Amino acid sequence: MKFSEILAKLGDAAVSNSLNVNKDNNPEITSVAAVDEATSGTISYIEGLKFAAMVGKTGASALILPQDEALQAQAQERGIAWIATPEPKLIFARTLKFFYQPWRPDPEIHPTAVIHPTAKIGTDVYIGPHVVIHQAVEVGNGACIHANVVIYPDTKIGVRTTLHANCTIHERTLIGADCEIHSGAVIGAEGFGFVPTATGWLKVEQSGYTVLEDGVVVGCNSAIDRPAVGETRVGRHTIIDNLVQIGHGCQIGAGCALAGQSGMAGGVKIGNRVILAGQVGIANQVKIGDGAIASAKAGIHSDVLPGEIVSGTPAVPHKTFLKVSAILPRLPDIYQSLKQLQRQIGQKS
């Protein structure tokens, strides 16, 4: 694909480009690459001035650059074709799609699949080997269900949704359109509901529903639990990494991002566009406002205001956490100074 063809596909997203300066520099682009690994025939990107030095080192034939005239001039001097944009990483992501699309099998139902006669299967659906679909299941048009997936009764799978191999969808689960559930994920399994009694734990039946709105992505080996009553809900276009635990009755807003090994107890309410970094833990019934961010390993035991950034365990405002972190290595010296001061006061008294 010629560099000019990439520009045509990107349209107005490419704010300016090197062809406006040198029409003869129109290299053939065959793939994408990381800027430090790029070779002739590849296109890569520079995100911000932090990586500016790579313009002088990369082997790429083309670069997606920030709107920085100095970087553009440097690329021009090296004969590298370039695109300038306010969002290089976003444009790189769009460009990558021109060279790679995930494998998607053609529609068919494999002869080893076991499908209950009451299940409703839409058109243009792929159902792979050894899939099990129980009664009263609805699978929307264009859905893709890979090998060994099990779908329990009373479940709906939305149009164009993909269920990757070996994931499990339990009863009373409603999955919207254009969702992607990765291998090993379990959606709608029983929540951790038990009541202590004099003779042991009494199980609380989990009769509620699990709802994933349109465009939700769930990573490998993550779990989203079904509640005793009501519903567990994940808002549209929320992305969930691998090994994430979402407890029963949680309500997660739209456009959130939950990184690996983050987990929340039952009844947590998370607003829209919230970001949880890796290994964040959230206690029962906590509320987190729109646009809040929790940094890695934050332990959240109380509500977080909209737009707030929290860190540490127990979680505190990020600025406070930074101050505490700066003091922490000095604690031994501070302690020795305190002991010395106490001895001096004791001697004077």
Q: Catalytic residue numbers?
A: 248
Amino acid letter, 317:
P
Beta strands in 209-311 (DSSP E): 209-212, 217-218, 223-226, 231-234, 239-240, 245-246, 251-252, 257-258, 263-264, 269-270, 275-276, 281-282, 287-288, 293-294, 299-300, 309-311
Between the CA of residue 244 and those of 53, 168, 223, what are the distances in Å? 37, 15, 6
Longest CA–CA separation in the chain, Å: 92
Q: Give residue 336's Cα distance to chain centre.
A: 46
Beta strands in 31-116 (DSSP E): 31-32, 42-45, 62-65, 81-84, 108-109, 114-115
**Minimal CA–CA distance to 235: which of 219, 258, 251?**
251
CA gap 103, 221 in Å, rounded: 21
Residues 6+ apart with CB under 8 A from 263: 244, 245, 246, 247, 280, 281, 282
Name the residue with tokens 């990483």: 89
Residues 6+ apart with CB under 8 A from 329: none
CA gap 37, 49 in Å, rounded: 18
The helix/strand/coil state of 82 is: strand
The helix/strand/coil state of 9 is: helix
Structure tokens at 258: 């939950």
